[in-house]
Structure 1
Amino acid sequence: MTDEQELAEIQRRHWQDTYAAHPGMYGEEPSEPAVHAASAFQAAGARDVLELGAGHGRDALFFAREGFTVQATDFSPVGLEQLREAARSQGSEGRVATTVHDVRESLALPDDSVDAVFAHMLLCMALSTKEIHALVGEVRRVLRPGGVFVYTVRHTGDAHYGTGTAHGDDIYEHGGFAVHFFGRELVDTLADGWTLNEVHAFEEGALPRRLWRVTQALPR
């Protein structure tokens, strides 16, 4: 097993244990980026949303309440089971489908098959730069022309950048969670061939975490 594979497996187990120990750990209210994304998706005429790294589903369920059909993926079966239970309790199970998926692997979706993709702090998990590029390539493959991609990442201005356990490739670990911190050059490179609509800086949490919210679209 390579160092990258070992780190990925450790992170998978860590998230499984975290969701099991703290059901609904992020609460029921949608994240600010999801609220922004819903508006951007509606403006683009999107009807279906693919969420990568949906966790226990606060944002996926919000998208469903906003009228979208949602495909929610995560590598944690525990988190997705919590999502399904919440969908049933809210009466929105008909609008939300879940799939266990590791973003290091190809998406099991046809080309040009979804209107919009959302990923809140998924791209800045313990992924190598090469894996991040491959993931964005998959997002581009499954999006229809004119499709919108909204993602958020912690960036190199964050207080944790350069501290904790270093894993190389701008990945640093704190409290068992490994984060790939983004520089602006990486954001710009990932937007090559897209229309980069916005790179919005914001803060979240008690540290606070410093993030970018990136909104980009494919040409029609």
Structure 2
Amino acid sequence: MLITELDGSEVIMAEDDGKLAEGQRRHWQDTYAAHPGMYGDAPSDPAVHAAQVFRSAGAADVLDLGAGHGRDALYFAREGFAVRAVDFSPIGLAQLRGAARAQGIRGRVTTTVHDVREPLPLPDASVDAVFAHMLLCMALSTEEIHALVDEVRRVLRPGGMFVYTVRHTGDAHFGAGTGHGDGIWENGGFAVHFFARDLVDALADGWESNEVHAFVEGGLPRRLWRVTQTRPR
């Protein structure tokens, strides 16, 4: 059912989550195919920060969730980490592998096609660090986000670090475009779950919370939080 709000925005009520998820998968596949390496070669600022945090914690390997075509995963590998890059786009990961070969770091990067709505394909306590730049704020329900963070905690070794970023409700796109409920709004074909601060706080339950840092990125600009938390020993 489609409802038009007074401000002209559209809200889709009772949206089938599976249809939204599959539509987003197709959209990202098409976008990566049309724009190879769309985010460029330089790492994101959160990845540069995360590499410093992970190195200080003695991490040797990094799980990069929602790695896309790999600008951050490749940076971690160049910094000497062993990297497992996970994404639901085979096209994006193929671009990542090609770039890793070209940069001579293919041996430090493995890729896995995986939808994070499903349990992570890793054993318990098997990675030192996890990074996720704007993955948690994709078209995931609040329930799915909680399940994913529980999975991150499961696969991290005790003392392991988790750095993630999310767009929040102070962002210009929040409340604009087409709404899918549960804080998810779609603009230009991209659906985003905009985080309220209480969701960040809820996701920190059972963790040691290190930092919630506000920053901006891009030309809109996008308004985000960078969250750093540790699995207790």
TM-score by length of structure 1 reads: 0.99
Whichever residue aligns with residue 69 of structure 1, its letter is A
- Cα distance, 1:219 vs structure 2: 1.1
Whichever residue aligns with residue 154 of structure 2, its letter is R
Alignment of 1:23 onto 2:36 = yes
Alignment of 1:135 onto 2:142 = no
Alignment of 1:6 onto 2:19 = yes
Alignment of 1:157 onto 2:170 = yes
Whichever residue aligns with residue 6 of structure 1, its letter is K
Q: Residue 33 of structure 1: SS of its match in structure 2? A: helix
Residue from 110, 124, 130 that aligns with 1:117:
130
- Cα distance, 1:163 vs structure 2: 1.1
Percent identity, aligned pairs only?
79
Deviations 1:44-79 (A, max 9, x none): 100000000000000000000111000000000000
Aligned to 1:213: 226
For residues 166-205 of structure 1, the aligned pairs below 5 Å read 166-205=179-218
Residue from 67, 85, 100 that aligns with 2:98:
85
Q: Which structure has the larger Rg over C-alpha atoms?
A: 2
Deviations 1:144-192 (A, max 9, x none): 0000000000000001111110100000000000000000000000000
Taking the aligned partners of 2:154 and 2:206, their CA distance within structure 1 comes to 12
Taking the aligned partners of 1:102 and 1:196, their CA distance within structure 2 comes to 26
Q: Residue 12 of structure 1: SS of its match in structure 2? A: helix
Gaps of 5+ in 1: none
Taking the aligned partners of 1:89 and 1:166, their CA distance within structure 2 comes to 41
Computed over aligned residues only, the root mean square deviation of the Cα atoms, in angstroms, reads 0.6
Taking the aligned partners of 1:20 and 1:82, their CA distance within structure 2 comes to 9
TM-score by length of structure 2 reads: 0.93
Q: Residue 41 of structure 1: SS of its match in structure 2? A: helix
Taking the aligned partners of 1:113 and 1:187, their CA distance within structure 2 comes to 24
Alignment of 1:75 onto 2:88 = yes
Alignment of 1:126 onto 2:145 = no
Taking the aligned partners of 1:164 and 1:195, their CA distance within structure 2 comes to 36
Taking the aligned partners of 1:43 and 1:195, their CA distance within structure 2 comes to 16
Count of aligned positions:
219
Whichever residue aligns with residue 165 of structure 1, its letter is T
Taking the aligned partners of 1:162 and 1:213, their CA distance within structure 2 comes to 21
For residues 36-75 of structure 1, the aligned pairs below 5 Å read 36-75=49-88
Gaps of 5+ in 2: 1-14
Taking the aligned partners of 2:127 and 2:101, their CA distance within structure 1 comes to 24
Taking the aligned partners of 1:74 and 1:154, their CA distance within structure 2 comes to 19
